[in-house]
Amino acid sequence: MQRINFDLQQLAAFIAVAERGSFRAAAEAIHLSPPALSRRIERLEASLGIRLFHRTTREVELTGLGRTFLERARAAFDDLAAATLGITEIGARQSGRVTIGCVPSAAFYFLPSVIRPFTEQYPELRLRIIDENDAEVARAVIAGEADFGIGFLGSRVPELDFEPLRVDAFVLAVRRDHALAGRAEVRWTDLAGMRLLAPSRASGNRQLLDDALSRAGLRPVFAVEVNRVSTQLGMVEAGLGVGVVPGLTLPASAHLALVGIPLVGPSVTRTLGILSRHGARLHPAAQILHGHLRAAFRDGAARADRGGRTPARPPAAGAVRARRRG
């Protein structure tokens, strides 16, 4: 087996060049001369036996293998930094990089409410958010592109562990001046003749809706279908219809323009939770954010139980090994 020798400084140099697309900018950022930075990259490429960058006189671009190595280098850099500094210093500094996947419906209001106090408490932590549909979030976690994810279809993916943390019911989003705005709840049959806005057929949310409504013998006509909940809520706010959305997509406090009304007959719910690769260990920085998100999920569920927007109780919090459905 070939022995590969490279160090933390070489990884830092590679990441700096890859993120900035320039040897000169990277050299300034990590306080090296351009020749010294070039020598570090050359030694790293020699150790790996591959070329990481295409170089021209004007620009630097990652090779295909360089792009593959970048995500692994970032993770390795954080792991090496943790080993070098020692777990005590990492605990004191709380530094590192965390990448999480998150379905857009949870990323719109819920995630920012968690991220803001988190970044204020741990300003040294760097965050990357992959806000994609549930299938893409699951793929990113399985591939190691995300440390963990927030989603709701984890029980369908055998490579993942799914920790259910909150039941989220679908609601009808209407403008505050809409005739239904004062209702305590709305039945699906009450929506006949209304211009309904819904998630696209490709989304996991739409699959949940279609399955539940089909079992209830209902086939509502959705006039507009959109990929992003932000687009859906924007159209409702503009008076273009009423929207069927997960309750978590509306803020916990009162929205200035919109009201979320529970939909019943049937009530359609989804279980949100944290997705992680089976058997994988989170690095220290990711563990910190993971703990904050778990606490935020449970706090939100507790508020809902006391009379909040989504009156559904979360399931048991223990991690559940995902299994294929027969």
Question: Cα–Cα distances in Å, from 176 out to 47, 181, 189, 261, 304?
Answer: 63, 6, 21, 11, 21
At residue 127, φ and ψ (nearest 5 deg) are: -120, 145
pLDDT confidence of 84, banded at 50, 70, 90? low
Number of Cβ within 10 Å of residue 128's Cβ equals 13
30-64 pLDDT, tens digit per residue, is: 888 989 999 999 999 988 889 999 887 667 889 88
**CA dihedral of residues 306, 232, 119, 18 (deg, nearest 10):** 150
Query: 162 pairs with which residues across the strands?
Result: 275, 320
β-pair type (125-131, 53-55): unpaired
Give the residue, 96 or 249, on which the prediction is more confident: 249
With a cut of 80, say whether residue 177 has pLDDT above it. Answer: yes
- pLDDT of 270 reads 92
Task: List, in sequence order, every residue forming a beta bridge with 102; answer none if it has no partner.
Answer: 131, 150
Confidence of residue 315 (pLDDT cuts 50, 70, 90): very low
Mean pLDDT, to the nearest integer, of 273-291? 87
- Cα separation, 289 vs 127, in Å, equals 10
* Spatial distance between the Cα atoms of 224 and 71, rounded to a whole number of angstroms: 38
Distances in Å between the alpha carbon of 33 and those of 36, 37, 47, 271? 5, 6, 21, 52
Instruction: Please calculate the CA angle 38-39-42 and round it to the nearest 5 degrees.
Output: 85
Q: How does strand 186-187 pair with strand 258-264?
A: parallel
Per residue in 110-165, pLDDT (tens digit) is 888 888 888 888 887 888 999 988 889 999 999 889 999 999 865 577 889 999 98
CA 249 to CA 171: how far, in whole Å?
9
pLDDT value, residue 80: 62
Say what the pLDDT of residue 308 is.
Answer: 41
The listed range with the strongest mean pLDDT (16-25, 34-43, 170-179, 223-232) is 170-179
Q: Range with the lowest mean pLDDT among 16-20, 102-106, 153-157, 204-208?
A: 153-157
Q: What are the backbone dihedrals phi and psi of residue 274, each rounded to the nearest 5 degrees, phi first? A: -105, 130
Phi, psi of 287 (to 5 degrees): -60, -40
Residue with tokens 């703990």: 291
Between 36-40, 72-76, 258-262, the lowest mean confidence (pLDDT) is in: 72-76
Domains and CATH numbers, the chain: 8-85 (1.10.10.10), 97-165+271-321 (3.40.190.10), 167-270 (3.40.190.10)
Q: Quote the DSSP letter at residue 283.
A: P
pTM over 0.75: no
